[in-house]
Amino acid sequence: MKKITISIFTVIMMLALFFSASVFAASGDPVGVTYSAHVENIGWQAPVSDGAPAGTTGLSLRMEAVMINLDNAPAGAVISYEAHVQNIGWQPVVENGDVAGTAGMSLRLEALKINLENMPGYSVQYRTHVENIGWQDWVSDGAVAGTTGQSLRAEAVEIKIVQTTDLTAYEAALAAVTEADYTTESWDVYQAVAAANVVTMANTQAEVDAATAAITAAQANLVIIIDVSAITVTGDAVVGATLTAAPTPGAATGTYQWKSSDSADGQYANITDATSNTYVIGDAYAGKFIKVTFTASGSYTGTQTSVATTVVAAALGSDATLKASSTIKGETLLSLGTPSASGAIWSNGGTVTITAAEAVNTTNLTPYITLFDPTDAGATVKVVKYAQWSNVGNFDSAPAYANQAITNQDYFWVKVTAPDTTTLYYKVNVTVTPTPVSAITVTGTGGATTVTNGSTLQMSAAVTPTDATDKTVTWSVAPTTGAGAGTATIDATTGVLTGTGNGTVVVTATANNGIKGNETITVVDGPQAVITNVHISSNNADVTKAMNGDTITLTFTASEAVTKLSPQFKINGSNPDTFTNVGLVYTATHLVDSGDAVTGEPATFQINVMNAAGIYSPTVEATTDSSSVTIIDAYARITNVSIVSDNATPVPDTNIETGA
């Protein structure tokens, strides 16, 4: 009676522990599981959690019962389980801390099945330690852990709750964007996508991933609202000249309004119909100051007003302009830009594009003449070439351009002086079209195609054409595919290859325009045997033919003794039947049989042998004397040949062969 009382008390205490753990679990803590085992000679053990073993191992003690409960589970969640018990079989399903199995009956618990209910996005995983077997593989969600029908005791159990649906990426995607940063139109479109892709833990991971991908893709179409920070005006403050307004950033959309005032800091009035990004200064504005106001729209926001121009000067009195037919290295200018009367550097210069060959040609032949031709025949022109970002402050003292070579992004500063000394300055920016790389040939130093493991080999890249503008290449190396692949590293800049693992690798040189060249290099432990004097023949009357029953003989000479054939050594797809040598001359044979297909093509072979250092030779697949053997069908065989005469006593001629 005392033992029964103690057992009942123990059960009550264990239930109290289980229920207290469930009731007082902290909100937001991860879902877990707590469980206890009733063990032979021990009774109820202290509860364990989340994958820890309950029961015993190595003591040959049976588990007799278990109690299982969830920790931090959502409302309505249930963990149900059932036990397979000696002499009883499967018991009814119990749940949430109830006892499965028996206590005080000395009956072994043999197997368990465990399930979760009302917990989408989670799985219960468990395994048992079984007599004579040990720990079994993990099973989940109602599968049998343990054994049935084998009379084997379950000795311990491990149980854990695993989250199968992960909302982390989905929630991060939703949190990645804020409405205030985007235009209303694009945000509304995005919100429609987000609303159509709401998921919870009740969804599968595939559904969550698809929703996350749809939301991320929609975010890529959001249009950012960008503040306009400035508006600048370029051009000369001269009647008849064109002023050009440019917002920052340059792609900003919006409206323009040009304004004028009698003083730089006075009240500005709108100029009628001056609402584009350019404005040609009218006669009425000589002596005035001009500004422009830009009001952003679309995906841009803000209003900016430029600084005032200098006081507008009267129109120039004579022609100090260049002809549109001006050329650089024979190429007509794409545009002249807007000239400046002050000589200040500005952004809207003229442009011209020339080839790399034209850029370096310094002859004065007609196709390469540089000519800035003034509109007024009486005007004078001075031309000076500057490198990109150079200062033109020395223009007056700088030597005039004399057809020197041109580099990409050089620019010309051109001063045109009319007969009445009126002056205009032009800036012309030059773009040199590069000569692209069309092909790359990769080689090792001295034509080497091998590198010793741990040693280096300098790789070289020959670029075609030789006058390519950018001959820079980037080096990379990768193992070949399939059997026999090796490893190596290479300096991406210098092309120095270091062997790190035996086998073949592909070394690649890549030009900046994406053109590639490749070479296959073999990484070896040391020098390889060199294979020469390769010859193939058969024992057929025609040594270039072989049929079923004939023997193909392959001979070669090695530079050193070889002791082993690799699995890749083949004659017509088969390993040799024999392999012998006399000194450094080696012979391999292959007996032709029905497995050798009649193709009408020469039989193939691959010579690959290993030297005493354990290093395989390069694979050789061609003879050195152009010899070959072709598999053919068997010749027709003539049998039962006889000869007779019309003599009264014909006698067969015994000298005639009757075989084939």
Q: What is the DSSP string of 109-168?
A: EEEEEEEEES-TTEEEEEEEEETTTEEPPPEETT--EE-SSS---EEEEEEEEEE----H
Confidence (pLDDT) at 15: 40
Q: What is the pLDDT of residues 5-28, one digit of tens each?
A: 334 333 433 443 333 333 333 346
Q: Render the burial of 574-600: b for 16+ CB within 10 Å, e for the rest.
A: bebeebebeeeebebbbbbeeebeeee
List domains and CATH numbers for the chain: 2-163 (no CATH), 168-219 (no CATH), 226-305 (2.60.40.2700), 327-433 (2.60.40), 439-524 (2.60.40.1080), 531-631 (2.60.40)
What is the percent of the chain where pLDDT is above 70?
91
Q: How many CB atoms lie within 10 A of CB 526?
A: 12
| Bigger pLDDT: 354 vs 24 | 354
When mean pLDDT is compared across 108-112, 245-249, 407-411, 654-658, the lowest value belongs to: 654-658
Q: Is 101 exposed, middle or buried (0-12, 13-18, 19+ CB in 10 A)?
A: buried
- 422 has a pLDDT exceeding 50: yes
Q: Taking a C-beta distance cutoff of 8 angstroms, is the pair 603, 546 a contact?
A: yes
Residue 405 phi/psi, 5-degree rounding, is -65, 155
Q: What are the tens digits of pLDDT across the range 567-582?
A: 778 999 999 999 999 9
User: Would you say residue 511 has pLDDT above 50?
Assistant: yes
How far apart CA 113 and CA 418 sit, in angstroms, is 102
Instruction: Kindly state the average pLDDT of the residues 383-401.
Output: 87
Instruction: Report the 10 Å Cβ neighbour count for 614.
Output: 11
Among 175-179, 540-544, 656-660, the range scoring the smallest mean pLDDT is 656-660
pLDDT (mean) for 153-173? 91
pLDDT for position 5: 34
Give me the pLDDT at residue 280, please.
Answer: 93
- The answer on pLDDT for 317 being more than 60 is no
- The pLDDT value recorded for residue 652 is 58
Q: Across the chain, what does the average pLDDT equal?
A: 87
Band of the pLDDT at 345, cuts 50, 70, 90? low
At residue 2, the 3 state secondary structure works out as: helix
Residue 13 has a pLDDT of 36
- pLDDT of residue 286 exceeding 50, the answer is yes
- Whether residue 233 is predicted with pLDDT greater than 90 in this model: the reply is yes
The pLDDT of residue 642: 76
**240: region left, alpha or beta (phi > 0 left; psi from -120 to 50 alpha):** left
What integer is the mean pLDDT of 495-505? 92
Please tell me the distance from the alpha carbon of residue 546 to that of residue 543, in angstroms, as a whole number: 7
What confidence score (pLDDT) does residue 338 get? Answer: 82
Q: Is residue 452 a contact partner of residue 501, using CB atoms and an 8 Å limit? A: no
Identify which has the larger pLDDT, 225 or 35.
35
**What is residue 347's predicted lDDT score, i.e. its pLDDT?**
57
- The mean pLDDT value for 476-486 works out to 90
Q: What is the pLDDT of residue 17?
A: 36
Mean pLDDT computed over 416-443: 89
- In this structure, are strands 516-524 and 551-558 parallel, antiparallel, or unpaired? unpaired
Beta strands in 7-62 (DSSP E): 32-39, 43-44, 48-49, 54-55
| pLDDT value of residue 19 | 37
Q: What is the mean pLDDT of residues 38-54?
A: 96
Residue 653 pLDDT grade (very low, low, confident, very high; cuts 50, 70, 90): low
Give the mean model confidence (pLDDT) for residues 520-546: 90
125, 121, 96, 122: which is closest to 113 by C-alpha? 125
Question: Between residues 576 and 348, which one has the greater pLDDT?
Answer: 576
pLDDT for 81 equals 97
pLDDT reported for residue 236: 86
Question: What's the whole-number mean pLDDT along residues 444-455?
Answer: 83
| Statement: residue 650 has pLDDT above 70 | no
Lowest average pLDDT, out of 56-60, 107-111, 618-622, 634-638, goes to 634-638
Return the pLDDT at 377: 83
CB half-sphere exposure, 324, CA atoms < 13 A: 2
Give the least confident one: 305-309, 345-349, 656-660: 656-660
Q: Is 641 helix (H, G, I), strand (E, B) or coil?
A: coil
Tell me the pLDDT tens digit for each residue of 64-111: 999 999 999 989 999 999 999 999 999 999 999 999 999 999 999 999
Angle among Cα 314, 317, 323 to the nearest 5 degrees reads 115
User: Helix, strand, or coil here: 346?
Assistant: coil
Mean pLDDT for the stretch of residues 214-219: 92
CA distance 427 to 388: 12
Higher-scoring residue by pLDDT: 614, 41: 41
Residue position matching structure tokens 């679309």: 298
d(CA 258, CA 277): 9
Contacts of 165 (CB under 8 A, 6+ apart): 120, 121, 122, 201, 202, 203, 204, 205, 208
